[in-house]
Amino acid sequence: MNTFSFRRACELERCPEDRKWLVEGLWSDRAVGIVGGEPKCCKSFLALDFAVAVASGTPCLRRFAVKQKGPVLVFAAEDAQHEVRARLEGLSQVAGVPFGDLDVHVITAPIVRLDLEDDCRKLSATVEALRPKLLVLDPFVRLHRRDENVASDVAPLLAYLRQIERRFHAAVLLVHHSRKGAAHVRAGQALRGSSELHAWGDSNLYIRRKGEDVLLLSAEHRAAAPLAEVALELRVRGEVRTLEVVDRPIASDEARTALSAAERIEQALSEATEQVGIHELRKVCRMRMASLCGALTELVADGRVLKSGDGYQLAMNA
């Protein structure tokens, strides 16, 4: 009679300490999981930051060490290929890695469906050919036509991705949306659709907004302690937008509002690493354009702010 293979518990392999993490603190080695959050919370930015970090071996978000470097395979269902290239090229520049050397591969097929057998065979064959360390799929809603609220519809799709991990030893990062208006619900329970999605992940990351400018990142793991909440901001470095860890205390919206227009501008410029264009400055300061331009005119006239073709900067930083 045929039987399943089995071992005594004491004969099972231990996980070597140096292979515990793919990205330390954020993603376990060979983990499947979700990057979740409400729309427009920079989930795709974070997913591509992961891709560049793992492919290059440079820290994710310039902070979290990559422990297992290797090729990365990405399918971005909602972004044009030129937009994906621009983001990856910018992140590569920030990481200090020549873009031509970046070991990130992008699936260029217009559609990938996890509920179609032929597409699953093609994806498996692609993963087998490349043997990526990480597979990024963004977003889940574009990868199927099943009912996300029905466990029996969602479970086979997630089981297939688990099979990808076990067969090819590839971590799988799935971008997924949270329900609108669920900011006060536990992050995993706020994910849209069946609870199967939350239960499936070995490592799950969640992003939620704090006010207009700050994002809060949290992580939970099946086999490790959760990560303490980390504050992030979407910043501009030249022409590149990146997510960055915020080390300074986060000012409340009330404190920002209490500052004068000139003080808000000077505070924003003091936190910038490059010259800031007027539209980005307006977004950061959360001011009407007329008020912003009036305050900038006075600051430039007083010599406290310098203006150039690339934007504005504090005179003391010039």
Write out the two tokens for 180.
């609108």
Phi, psi dihedrals of residue 105, rounded to the nearest 5°: -120, 135
Higher local confidence (pLDDT), 234 or 28: 28
Q: Using the structure block, give the residue that is written with the tokens 């400018």.
A: 213
pLDDT at residue 125 above 80? yes
- Tell me the three-class secondary structure of 137-171, residue by residue: EECHHHHCCCCCCCHHHHHHHHHHHHHHHHHHCCE
Q: Render pLDDT for 42-77 as a digit per residue (tens, 0 to 9).
A: 999 999 999 999 999 999 999 999 999 999 999 999
Domain 18-245: give its CATH code.
Answer: 3.40.50.300
Mean pLDDT, rounded, for 198-223 = 91
User: Could you say which architecture CATH assigns to the domain 253-317?
Assistant: Orthogonal Bundle (1.10)
Distance CA 149, CA 194 (A): 4
Domain assignments of the chain as residue spans, ordered by start = 18-245, 253-317
Mean pLDDT, rounded, for 267-287 = 83
Mean pLDDT, rounded, for 121-126 = 98
What is the pLDDT, as a whole number, of residue 73? Answer: 98
pLDDT at residue 13 above 80? yes
Q: Return all residues near 298 (Cβ < 8 A) that are at least 6 apart.
A: 262
Q: Return all residues near 264 (Cβ < 8 A) that are at least 6 apart.
A: 256, 285, 286, 287
Higher local confidence (pLDDT), 126 or 266: 126
Q: DSSP class of residue 18? A: G
Binned at pLDDT 50, 70 and 90, residue 255 comes out as very low
Geometric angle at alpha carbon 85, from 84 and 89, rounded to 5°: 120
**Which of 35-39, 170-174, 191-195 reaches the highest mean pLDDT?**
170-174
Q: What is the mean pLDDT of the chain?
A: 89
Distance CA 289, CA 270 (A): 20
Mean pLDDT, rounded, for 18-35 = 93
What is the pLDDT, as a whole number, of residue 22? Answer: 97
Give the pTM.
Answer: 0.76
Higher local confidence (pLDDT), 147 or 261: 147
What is the pLDDT, as a whole number, of residue 257? Answer: 45
Query: Per residue in 227-240, is it b (16+ CB within 10 Å) or e — as a string?
Result: beebbbbbbbeeeb
What is the pLDDT, as a whole number, of residue 31? Answer: 97
Binned at pLDDT 50, 70 and 90, residue 259 comes out as low
